[in-house]
Amino acid sequence: MATHRPAASAAAITYTPAEAVHGPTFTCPRCERVYPYPVDHGAPVRCECGWWYTNLGHGRIIEEFRPRIGGAKTKGPEAAAGPAAEHH
Ligand SMILES: [Zn+2]
């Protein structure tokens, strides 16, 4: 006597929880917005409040206030704009 199971077996479904931003985050100390942590020598975090946070590597973050309103005087080199230095 063969106990025969019906072939129609529902496929197992694995529910994976939706992961939020994975990895370290950076919180703006001025307005407490949360961003992905800026990578070393990478693009700076440009906060909505106007502050830029650039990672110089080794955990050093420089802060710079750059209001995005047009007409703001540029009193410094646009050092953070370029791509990161290439490593050979
Ligand atoms: Zn901010």
Examine the pLDDT at 39 and tell me if it is beyond 50: yes
Q: 39 C-alpha vs ligand 1 centroid, how far in Å?
A: 18
Q: Please, which residues have CB within 8 angstroms of residue 36's CB and are 6 or more apart in sequence?
A: 21, 23, 24, 25, 26, 45
Q: Which of 28, 35, 71 shows the shortest CA–CA distance to 50? A: 28
Q: Give the per-residue pLDDT at 79.
A: 46
Of 15-19, 62-66, 80-84, which gets the smallest average pLDDT? 80-84
Q: What is the domain partition of the chain in residue ranges?
A: 25-65
**Centroid of ligand 1 to alpha carbon of 48 (angstroms):** 6
* Percent of the chain with pLDDT strictly greater than 90: 44
Q: Which amino acid is at 3?
A: T
- The string of pLDDT tens digits covering residues 40-57 is 999 999 999 999 999 999
Who has greater pLDDT, 70 or 23? 23
What is the 8-class DSSP label of residue 76?
A: S
CA of 69 to the centre of ligand 1 (A): 15
pTM: predicted TM-score of the whole model, two decimal places = 0.54
Secondary structure (3-state) at 35? strand
